[in-house]
Amino acid sequence: MTDYDMKFMEEAYKLAKKSFDEGGLPIGAVLVRGGEVIGRGHNRRVQNGDPIAHGEMDCLRNAGRQKTYKDTVLYTTLSPCMMCSGAVVQFGVPRVVIGENRNFGGNEEFLRSHGVEVEILDNRKCIDLMEELKESKPQLWAEDIGED
C-alpha cells in the first residue's frame, strides 16, 4: 500500500458517500493513470434506475475511451462484482485496489487468476459506510446482491 493508494481510496470513498447521500448504494471508484485521476464514478443503480450502473462501470464510462488501460489502477470502495471484475479483465486493468471486502467478498480470485494485482485495504470508513447501508436499507442491499 502506498500513499497514492490512500489518497485515491479517499477520493473513491467521497464518491461512495455522495451516492449514499443521494439514496443510492455507497460504492465509489476512481481510475488513475500516472498519479492522475482519469475517471470517477459512483453507484447510480437507484438514482438512474439502471441495473448496470455500478460504481466501477460508472467510473469507466466517465473515463471515456482509452487507447489502453494497461497503465491504470482502479480504486473501488467495495470488492467488485463479477460484471465489474469482467470489465477489469476485458480492458486489461492491471491493478485493482479495494477498500473493503468484508461486506461483499467479490471476485478477487477471479481477478488474480487473470493476472490482475489485487490489494485489499480493509479500510474502516468503507466498511462502516456499507454496514450503515445494510442496516438502514436491508431491502436495497438484498436487491443489489441478488438476494430475495
Are β-strands 72-78 and 28-33 bridged in parallel, bridged antiparallel, or unpaired?
antiparallel
Q: Percentage of the chain surpassing pLDDT 90?
A: 89
CA proximity to 27, closest of 66, 74, 87, 64: 74
Instruction: Name the band, by pLDDT with cuts 50, 70 and 90, for residue 119.
Output: very high
**Residue 40: inside a domain, yes or no?**
yes
Contact 77, 120 (CB under 8 A): no
Instruction: Provide mean pLDDT across the span 71-79.
Output: 98
What is the tally of structural domains in the chain? 1
Query: Mean pLDDT over all residues of the chain?
Result: 95
pTM above 0.85, yes or no: yes
Residue with cell 502506498: 2
56 is catalytic: yes
pLDDT at 1 over 80: no
Q: Which three cell numbers stand for residue 19?
A: 451516492
**Residue 118: inside a domain, yes or no?**
no
pLDDT at 94 over 80: yes
pLDDT at 87 over 90: yes
**Residue 26: inside a domain, yes or no?**
yes
pLDDT for 100 equals: 97
Domain at 13, CATH number: 3.40.140.10
The rounded distance, in Å, linking the Cα atoms of 148 and 118 is 30
Instruction: Provide mean pLDDT across the span 45-51.
Output: 95
Contact 74, 51 (CB under 8 A): no
Residue ranges making up the domain that contains 30: 3-98+123-145
124-136 and 3-21 helices, crossing angle to 10°: 20
pLDDT for 114 equals: 98
pLDDT for 148 equals: 66
**Residue 7: inside a domain, yes or no?**
yes
Q: Which three cell numbers stand for residue 71?
A: 497503465
Identified catalytic residue from 10, 56, 109, 131: 56
pLDDT for 141 equals: 86
Contact 28, 3 (CB under 8 A): no
Residue with cell 438476494: 147
**Residue 71: inside a domain, yes or no?**
yes
The gap from C-alpha 84 to its chain's centroid, in whole angstroms, comes to 8
**Residue 132: inside a domain, yes or no?**
yes
**Residue 110: inside a domain, yes or no?**
no
**Residue 21: inside a domain, yes or no?**
yes
Instruction: Provide mean pLDDT across the span 119-129.
Output: 97
> What DSSP designation does 32 have?
E
The rounded distance, in Å, linking the Cα atoms of 13 and 76 is 8
